Structure 1
């Protein structure tokens, strides 16, 4: 009998760019549907991450001053329990600071 139980995996990233890359890994490499993935601030503050990256970086002095850098970004995905180990490795490869599942 196949194990079809679900688990929510949560990964924390320093930048929105790294979180977006992780989502692409989940979708393209693991076949996770985008409706089963969410991205949110790890705190109660609106944030683009804890460090400038991607569109937050400026060509002049290294970062934009209007990008809210108020904390880390979390990626959450509802996955099959049998995928936890492989997806954990993929999220860590994408730059996750921490990964947990419940």
Structure 2
């Protein structure tokens, strides 16, 4: 039965890792995956990650201009229970809490 599974992530990096797992390992079509912010504003999540954190040489300063205005939401359209189990596993692996809608 077709449904949509949604999960929210604290960082954009976690959301992107989940999307890549879905596409590369479970062959979910990118057209079935939707990435948005939890609110109306642009956001990189609730926490710094990746290039927003302090870096090694040659630059050691962390960035302070990340748009940390809310979680990142990933929604995935699924067609059957087997696909739904794979989607839930990938979303959970990277820190999301999947919910069906």
Scaled by the length of structure 1, what TM-score is found? 0.84
Equivalent residue in structure 2 for 1:54, among 50, 54, 72: 50
Q: Tell me the SS of whatever aligns to 1:76.
A: strand
How far apart are 1:43 and its partner, in Å? 1.6
Q: Distance in 2 between matches of 1:92 and 1:85?
A: 11
Q: Considering only aligned residues, what root-mean-square deviation do their CA atoms show, in Å?
A: 1.4
| Aligned structure 1 segments of 4 or more residues deviating by more than 6 angstroms | none
Q: Deviations over 1:44-76 (max 9, x none)?
A: 221000000012223335x42211001110111
Residue 94 (1) aligns with residue 90 (2): no
User: Residue 4 of structure 2 contacts residue 78 of structure 2 at CA under 8 Å; is this kept in 1?
Assistant: yes
What runs of 5+ residues in structure 2 fail to find an aligned partner?
none
Q: Distance in 2 between matches of 1:55 and 1:79?
A: 32
User: Residue 33 of structure 2 contacts residue 77 of structure 2 at CA under 8 Å; is this kept in 1?
Assistant: yes
What runs of 5+ residues in structure 1 fail to find an aligned partner?
none
Question: What corresponds to 1:18 in structure 2?
Answer: 14
Q: Distance in 2 between matches of 1:17 and 1:9?
A: 19
Task: Summarize the alignment of residues 1-102 of structure 1 with structure 2, pairs less than 5 Å apart.
Answer: 5-59=1-55, 60-61=60-61, 63-82=62-81, 83-96=83-96, 98-102=97-101
Q: Distance in 2 between matches of 1:81 and 1:44?
A: 31
